[in-house]
């Protein structure tokens, strides 16, 4: 058992999931195989490049693309929210994710632990897809209780209720 667990729920017409970073537990190739078997249309990495490298996942973007899956990188520091420098990356990732979900695709969002940053991004996508913020939060935490770790992360996700893709 590698500890790479995918926590999934139905959003729009597709499946949205959060997970820890592949390789976090020292089993990168096994985690990548599990991810490949899950067949996501898009993987969104909500981690910094040093975090990817430090956990043996420095090649994740290329590896995901090699398996025929789109990859988006939205670099966000641990316990933080996307800053102005990540706004364009989030906008592109969000548009791709919503299109995949509306087309019955699967989208996986990860951070290091599969809680704070990935939960924040998943919550924002749920709200952008039309869910009420509090109901979306409850639904997400029903499958992953640690999803969204800070007040700032919750506020960033809830801003989607004021209009899509707001930074």
Look at residue 166 in the predicted model and tell me its pLDDT.
44
At residue 27, the 3 state secondary structure works out as coil
Strand bridging mode 14-19 / 106-110: parallel
Could you list the residue range(s) of the whole structural domain that residue 21 is in? Answer: 7-160
Helix axis angle, 151-158 to 133-143, nearest 10°: 130
| pLDDT tens-digit map of 22-69 | 999 999 999 999 999 999 999 999 999 999 999 999 999 999 999 999
Q: What is the pTM of this model?
A: 0.95
Q: Would 32 be classed as within a structural domain?
A: yes
CATH of the domain at 147: 3.90.190.10
Helix axis angle, 116-128 to 151-158, nearest 10°: 20
Half-sphere exposure of 111 (CA within 13 A, CB side): 23
Question: What confidence category does residue 162 fall into, taking pLDDT thresholds of 50, 70 and 90?
Answer: confident
CA 70 to chain centre: 13
Q: Would 2 be classed as within a structural domain?
A: no
**Of 80, 104, 154, 146, which Cα lies nearest the Cα of 124?**
154
């Amino acid at each position: 058992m590698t500890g790479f667990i995918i926590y999934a729920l139905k959003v729009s017409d597709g499946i949205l999931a959060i997970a820890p970073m592949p390789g976090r537990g020292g089993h990168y190739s096994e985690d990548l195989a599990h991810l490949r078997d899950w067949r996501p249309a898009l993987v969104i990495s909500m981690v910094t490049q040093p975090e990817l490298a430090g956990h043996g996942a420095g090649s994740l973007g290329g590896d995901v693309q090699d398996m025929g899956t789109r990859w988006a990188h939205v670099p966000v520091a641990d316990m933080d929210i996307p800053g102005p420098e990540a706004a364009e990356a989030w906008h592109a990732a969000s548009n791709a994710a919503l299109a995949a979900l509306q087309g019955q695709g699967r989208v996986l969002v990860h951070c290091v632990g599969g809680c704070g940053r990935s939960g924040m991004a998943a919550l924002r996508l749920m709200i952008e897809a039309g869910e009420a913020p509090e109901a979306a939060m409850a639904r997400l935490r029903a499958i992953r209780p640690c999803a969204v770790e800070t007040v700032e992360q919750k506020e960033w996700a809830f801003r989607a209720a004021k209009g899509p893709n707001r930074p």
